[in-house]
Structure 1
Amino acid sequence: MWILLLMGMLLAACGGGGGSPGETGVVPQPPATTGALTVTVSGLPAGVNAALRVTGPNNFTQDLNQTQTLSNLAPGSYSLSAAAVTSGATTYTPTPATQSAVVSAGATASATVNYGGASATLSLGVTRVAELESPTFLSAPPGDARLFVTERPGRVRIIQNGSVLSAPFLDISARVATAGEGGLLSLAFDPQYARNGYVYLYYTDAQRDIVVERFTASANPNLADATSGLVIIRVPHPGFTNHFGGQLAFGPDGFLYLAPGDGGGAGDPQRNGQNFTSLLGKLLRLDVANASASQPYAIPPDNPYIAMSSRRGEIWAAGLRNPWRFSFDGGQLYLADVGQDQREEVNIVGASQGGLNFGWNIMEGTLCYNASSCDRSGLTLPAFEYEHGSNNVNGCSITGGFVYRGRALPELAGHYFYSDFCGGWLKSFLPGAGGITQQRDWNLQGVRQVVSFGRDAEGELYLLSAAGGIYKIGRASTP
């Protein structure tokens, strides 16, 4: 009996007929929806950055300067373009210059760029294009071979097929006052210029106000309708005849940006740079898509101070002294601000970053201004600056330019060009995540007192001199 009972207990312990208790702790994972791309760069000396751009689905764009893995990418085909880079007197050419890679969900694709060979020394020179009266800015509508140049007295001239047309595109000299640093200072074409013919002018009037006015091209594409003027904004500028700023441009978001100076005088005596009830010493951002006489502009809803009664809603950024020139490159803003006595600066920030304070007159560049110490909290310091030096040996007034995106000099893609009114030189640098690299003085001869840069519809760059010369930057045959 005991033996039979023991055998029954053993059979029960073996789970006869009971089945497996099953596995525990395993949670099914959802399938991956994104992938990655590893870009490997080789062949460059230490300290020299590559110049790569990756584009792909959903308007993806990413600039790289070294080996990097891009994660969380949407599946699809990605294009990688590599530009030659210059360090010192040597240019390094990439292989391949363009390639594609397919990113799959849950996988990592790869692409390799080899900067294997150093090419001949790159040297730049200039070619005189035209001579005009006090040119201040040069631009062109998208896809247009003509060059439009503002003359300080109040005229817009056209250069077509290498010749200056006899009749101005537009003459508003009766509206413009040139006292001090004033005059017709720049222009900007509407992103839809081919459809609407709108062009915006930035000038100073007889009351020393800063005025932005829109005009419309006539049926003759080489003539604007002088009766079509619509004043977009008028910024009072009392007391001084300097620091009018002078630039306006459409950003990648389609809004109009303009940068009035701080109102003039040494050291911002009116304290406009840090006064958020004043439009002076600021970068302004306006919506002019539906401009009319009753409402010449609207304030974009994402402007940082739109809901603040104590701050002007038009303000996008503050703390500027005399931002004579700024420009956009993709999603980046390059803003050159003229310094007081010691430093010149270039601010490089994301174009979508509103509410920044660049520091004037608390700071001049990265220096405290007229103070032994200063509070830098909340301030955005420049990405690049240079000292005037003894007797302004290095320069005294920066002339900001553009990031090069033309086709004639592919090895300089992504390089930012700038000059100085006192220095008269042409210099460039390559910005990147690791800072400013590849600084170069191009040892330019024959151009002095550079007032402004210009850029044509092909992305090629020009220099404008106070003496009236307009020069195109290009490859020189000899160093």
Structure 2
Amino acid sequence: MIKAKVRLRPIASRINLPTVLKTAILPGDSVERLFIATQAGEIFFIGNGAVRTFLDIRSRILKLGTSSSGYDERGLLGVAFHPQFYYNGLFYLHYSEAGTQGPGALPGGFESFKPNPCDPGTLNLKWVNREAQYDHIDTVEEWMLQSNGQPQRRRTLLRIRRPFLNHNGVNSLNFSPETGKLVLTTGDGGSGYDPFNLSQDDMEIAGKIIEMDVGKPTFIEHPPVVTRFTELPAPIQETLAVMAKGVRNIPGISFQRMYNNQYIKYAGNVGQDLVESIFSFISYKPIPVTRLVQHFLMKSEPDREGFINFGWRGWEGALPTSVITGCPANPALDEKTVAYYDEALLTSARRLQPLVSYFHKDPRPDKFGATALTGVQPYMGNEIPGLTGSVVFTDLARAGQSQTGARGVLAYTRVSADCKLHDFSVMETDYHFGSRSAYYVSLGSNMDQTKLYLGVYGSMNVTDWNQGTVFEIVP
């Protein structure tokens, strides 16, 4: 593949960590505006060259960075504008609620768990005492921009108890242009290696891609805080269907129009120790939550034809999930032991193969060592030569760099309708960040996918405030 060369043009600077970048047309406006959501709880938009505040919910967000020395994956995680936003003013938020901090589901912090294939006890852990042993509560809400220009919360759609502070998803709310439904991506609940195997359990809300029919009127004043679909009131169950499971952590889902109003769906899965993965699929058959619950109660198996399974935790993208240990006799080598052999066998035939896999260690001269996938977007514009029709993705930072010199990576892959495994190419950029770090934390596009936006942050810690810059990716 030929290397595409791009330029980064700064649009907004000195903001908090940008989690969502997308455009919308405000009611009564005539111009598509770029909206920037920050992890801290602000939503800005670009109007006449100035950064303006659309909504500030920092008081609704739990205190970030307190339990992990500044690092955090909670906060304002998702923003989506209703397809009829221009007419109805409706938009949707996913965030971690203030005042809901808990002790976590396992002692020792979110990074403490590692499976031991020689100790079955570590392979079959259960999340017990959930009402006390959890990390925080996430909420998904419907808001409305009123005629006076002030946003107001209308209703709560879901309240989800999360076991750990990480793997909550990011850019986690997107509307499907195919179905008109709101799509929520949840992540497996956190820690590492999915200790409780929530992502493969049909009843767990964690580790799924979920369709939400927001057109159904479910005005339940105070929905219960839940972790499993069985705990939801029937009217809420009736609005939900599960598109996919086997998700580890996911930077949203994106849609690329093909023909006959069909779309290729792209979803990235952040890796554990070995590989980052991007999945794609066209046809799929979601399973209504009411049917999943019915089969669970009857102890029967639902029809899974057309249902998407990314394979986690048995599979990390293209590879069986492995535990890595050092080799004392040769420090240059690592021993890789399959962590969940039985689960890898169980899901081997059912799982979807990745479109792209890229690795944490890659000796090829034209590739790079990965850290974490942070965004996937199709590009349908013509301004950047060689990129039209490609899928662009971002990685947080090249592996092996010092924190002061960290640099994110932009890359892309060609796509055909077969959705088979493809190679990728790294983009060259001309922007010089000087001596400061530049973690590529988010990727977004405009409504017709002819423009791309990149969110960059100068630190891995959310408590290092105002170190964010948003760029447009230009020729």
TM-score normalised according to structure 1 size: 0.66
Q: Which runs of 4+ in 1 moved over 6 A?
A: none
Look up the match of 1:471: 471
Aligned partner of residue 58 in structure 2, secondary structure: coil
Q: Is this contact kept in 2: 1:357–1:378, CA < 8 A?
A: yes
Q: Show the counterpart of 1:441.
A: 426
Q: By how many angstroms is 1:430 displaced? A: 0.9
Q: Distance in 2 between matches of 1:284 and 1:295?
A: 22
Q: Does 1:362 align with 2:308?
A: no
Aligned to 1:98: none
- Deviation per CA, 1:246-297: give whole Å up to 9, x if none: 2110112101111111111110002101111110011111100134423999
Query: Which residue is 2:9 aligned to?
Result: 127
Please state how far the C-alpha of 1:367 moved relative to its aligned partner.
Answer: 1.2
CA distance in 1, matches of 2:84, 2:210: 21
* Structure 1 residues 450 and 224: alpha-carbon distance in aligned structure 2, compared to 1, 3 A threshold: farther
The residue type equivalent to 2:89 in the other structure is G
Which structure has greater strand proportion?
A: 1
Q: Superposition pairs for residues 335-354 of structure 1, below 5 Å?
A: 335-350=267-282, 352-354=284-286
Matched residue, 2:51: 164
Residue 406 of structure 1 deviates from its aligned partner by 2.8
Q: For residues 65-94 of structure 1, give each alpha carbon's deviation from its aligned partner in whole angstroms, at most 9, with x where no partner exists.
A: xxxxxxxxxxxxxxxxxxxxxx415xxxxx
Give 1:219 deviation, angstroms: 2.1
Which residue does 1:200 correspond to in 2? Answer: 92
Of 146, 157, 166, the match for 1:232: 157
**Is residue 2:440 matched to residue 1:455?**
no
Deviation of 1:186 (Å): 2.4
The SS at the match of 1:146 is strand
Match of 1:260 in 2: 186
Describe the SS at the equivalent of 1:396: coil
Deviation at residue 397 of structure 1 after TM alignment: 0.3
> Alpha-carbon deviations, 1:423-466, whole Å to 9, x = none?
21111111114645573211224462111112124530000012
Contact 2:40 2:76 in 1 (8 A): yes
- Alpha-carbon contact 1:430-1:436 (below 8 Å) kept: no
Partner of 2:145: 217
Give the alignment of 1:305-384 within 5 angstroms: 314-330=241-257, 331-350=263-282, 352-354=284-286, 355-370=307-322, 371=338, 373=341, 374-375=344-345, 376-384=348-356
Higher relative contact order (CA 8 A, sep 6+): 2
Q: Aligned partners of 1:244, 1:416: CA distance in 2, in Å?
A: 24
Q: Is it true that 1:416 corresponds to 2:391 in the alignment? A: yes
Return closer, same or farther for 1:193/1:382 CA change in 2, 3 Å cut-off: same
Deviation at 1:419, TM superposition (A): 1.0
After superposition, the CA RMSD in angstroms is 2.8
**Structure-2 change in CA distance of 1:205 and 1:295 (3 Å):** closer
Query: What is the rounded CA distance, in whole Å, between the counterparts of 1:294 and 1:413 in structure 2?
Result: 45
CA distance in 1, matches of 2:73, 2:91: 22
**Aligned-residue offset at 1:393:** 5.3
Match of 1:269 among 195, 204, 217: 195
Q: Does 1:293 align with 2:227?
A: no
How many pairs align? 341
* Letter of the structure 1 residue corresponding to residue 454 of structure 2: L
Q: Cα deviations across residues 184-241 of structure 1 (Å, max 9, x unaligned)? A: 1221110111110001112111322222111111224xx4423x33211122113x11
C-alpha distance 328-457 of structure 1, shift in aligned 2 (>3 A) = closer
> SS of 2:352's equivalent?
coil
- Summarize deviations over 1:393-425 as a string: whole Å, max 9, x none: 511101222100235337422100001112211
CA distance in 1: counterparts of 2:154 and 2:46, whole angstroms: 23
Q: Does 1:187 align with 2:79?
A: yes
Q: Deviations over 1:145-198 (max 9, x none)?
A: 211111111111111122112xx2111112112342101122111011111000
Choose which of 200, 206, 219 in structure 2 pairs with 1:280.
Answer: 206
Task: Quickly say closer, same or farther: Cα 1:390–1:134, change in 2 above 3 A.
Answer: same
Say whether the 8 Å CA contact 2:193–2:313 is kept in structure 1: yes
Letter in 1 for 2:144: T
Q: Tell me, what secondary structure is at the counterpart of 2:147? A: coil
Match of 1:249 among 174, 183, 189: 174
The residue that corresponds to 1:154 in the other structure is 41
Which residue number in structure 1 is paired with residue 465 of structure 2? none
What TM-score, normalized by structure 2, do the two folds share? 0.67
- What residue ranges of structure 2 are gaps of 5+ in the alignment? 66-71, 101-135, 224-231, 258-262, 287-306, 323-337, 399-407, 459-467
Structure 1 residues 190 and 351: CA distance shift in structure 2, 3 A: farther
SS state at 1:140 partner: strand
Aligned counterpart, 1:425: 409
Does the residue aligned with 1:280 lie in a helix, a strand or coil?
A: coil
The question of whether the paired residues in 1 share the 8 Å contact of 2:6 and 2:384 is answered with no
Cα 1:214–1:283, aligned 2, differ >3 Å: closer, same or farther?
same
CA change 1:351–1:204 in 2 (3 A) is: farther
Equivalent residue letter for 1:320: V
Task: Tell me the percent identity.
Answer: 29
Structure 1 pair 446–202 and aligned structure 2 pair: CA distance change class (3 A): farther
**Structure-1 separation of matches of 2:56 and 2:353:** 40
Q: Measured at CA, do residues 402 and 393 of structure 1 come closer, stay the same or move farther in structure 2, by a change above 3 Å?
A: closer
Matching residue's letter, 2:23: A
Q: Which runs of 5+ in 1 are unaligned?
A: 1-86, 90-121, 298-305
Tell which structure's C-alpha radius of gyration is larger: 1
**Aligned-pair CA distance for 1:380:** 1.3
